[in-house]
């Protein structure tokens, strides 16, 4: 069973015609998006234009990962984009693999997302941390696109950078006899792609807030140094 990659999500974002409208966005502050179904609020930089996405589907037609929000912005170097999605139990193989080992899951998925461009290089292996007590992991990879066949070109091969961060939507009980996959219902994932490596820290500086808790960074800056 093949999980739809973040690249497919970004293609959907490019083709989407409807923009999600978050109410009363601050003029200079971050954009705000609340996912009522999961009880999570996301804060992200103003420069990203939000796009409403359709659910991603497997070849079987099942809804495997529901993509709730995407955003992107472009510079002369290229387009930077993110996708927020959640994985439910409709696809048990994908869900159990992620719940069992988030580090391995994020590493596998971020490299798979880049294989269409060439041979991926893992920049940061799956790094385990927590967000509001919820287990989380992030992996970062890059791929150098094949050089152009134009003998007159002096441009270096383009590089695409990608990061994938996933977290459990619920806090599992470590003392429970049930497995993590049995205790949680959703896994929330963030996919990022950019051609500008220096933009990755800004993209990973999103803030998330679970209902009833205070805001926390999606990825604590210290774990990436």
Confidence at residue 156, expressed as pLDDT on a 0 to 100 scale: 59
d(CA 189, CA 164): 7
Residue 221 and residue 119 in contact, taking contact as beta carbons nearer than 8 Å: no
pLDDT value at residue 61: 43
Q: What CA–CA distance (Å, rounded) separates 145 from 167?
A: 30
How many residues are present in the chain?
A: 225
Q: What is the distance between the alpha carbons of residues 5 and 27, in angstroms, rounded to a whole number?
A: 33
Residue carrying the six token digits 């679970």 = 210
For the entire predicted model, the pTM comes to 0.80
Contact 111, 122 (CB under 8 A): yes
What number of other Cβ atoms are within 10 A of residue 160's Cβ?
A: 20
Domain ranges of the chain: 6-224
- Please report the pLDDT score of residue 121 as a whole number: 92
Query: Tell me, what DSSP letter sits at residue 198?
Result: G
Task: Encode pLDDT of 19-46 as tens digits.
Answer: 333 444 556 788 999 988 889 999 999 8
Q: Which pLDDT tens digit goes with each residue over 76-93?
A: 888 899 999 889 888 888
pLDDT of 47 over the 60 cut: yes
What are the two backbone dihedrals, phi and then psi, of residue 11, each rounded to the nearest 5 degrees? -65, -40
Q: How far apart are CA 3 and CA 164, in angstroms?
A: 14
Neighbour count for residue 214 (Cβ, 10 Å):
8
**Positions of E strands within 110-176:** 121-131, 134-144, 159-168
pLDDT digits (tens, 9 = 90+) for 165-222: 999 988 888 888 888 888 889 999 999 999 988 888 888 888 999 998 899 999 987 7
Return the number of other C-beta atoms located less than 10 Å from residue 139's C-beta.
25
Distance of CA 165 to the CA centre of its chain: 6
Count Cα neighbours of 163 within 13 Å in the Cβ-side half-sphere.
26
The predicted structure's pLDDT at residue 147 = 64
pLDDT of residue 22: 40
Q: For the chain, state the CA radius of gyration.
A: 17
- How confident is the model at residue 118, as a pLDDT? 85
pLDDT of residue 68 exceeding 70, the answer is yes
- Residue pLDDT, tens place only, 95-127: 888 999 999 999 999 998 788 888 899 999 889
pLDDT digits (tens, 9 = 90+) for 127-167: 999 999 999 999 999 998 876 555 565 555 688 999 999 99
Is residue 15's pLDDT more than 70?
Answer: no
**Hey, what are 11's tokens?**
């293609």
* Beta partners for residue 137, in sequence order: 128, 166
Query: Does residue 102 sit in helix, strand or coil?
Result: helix
The answer as to CATH 3.40.1000.10 being correct for domain 6-224 is: yes
């Amino acid at each position: 069973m093949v999980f739809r990659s973040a690249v497919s999500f970004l293609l959907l974002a490019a083709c989407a015609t409807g923009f999600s409208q978050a109410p009363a966005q601050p003029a200079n502050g971050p954009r705000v998006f609340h996912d009522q179904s999961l009880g999570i609020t996301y804060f992200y930089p103003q420069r990203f234009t939000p796009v409403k996405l359709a659910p991603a589907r497997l070849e079987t037609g099942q809804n495997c990962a529901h993509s709730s929000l995407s955003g992107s912005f472009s510079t002369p170097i290229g387009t930077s984009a993110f996708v927020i999605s959640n994985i439910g139990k409709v696809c048990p193989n994908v869900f159990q693999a992620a719940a069992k080992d988030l580090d391995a899951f994020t590493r596998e998925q971020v490299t798979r997302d880049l294989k269409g461009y060439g041979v991926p290089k893992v920049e940061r292996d799956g790094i385990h941390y927590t967000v509001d007590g919820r287990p989380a992991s992030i992996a970062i990879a890059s791929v150098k696109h094949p050089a152009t066949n134009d003998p007159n070109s002096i441009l270096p091969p383009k590089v695409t950078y990608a990061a994938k961060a996933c977290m459990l939507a619920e806090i599992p009980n470590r003392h429970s006899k049930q497995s993590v996959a049995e205790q949680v219902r959703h896994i929330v994932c963030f996919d990022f792609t950019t051609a500008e490596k220096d933009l990755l820290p800004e993209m990973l500086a999103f803030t998330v807030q679970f209902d009833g808790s205070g805001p926390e960074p999606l990825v604590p800056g210290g774990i990436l140094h």
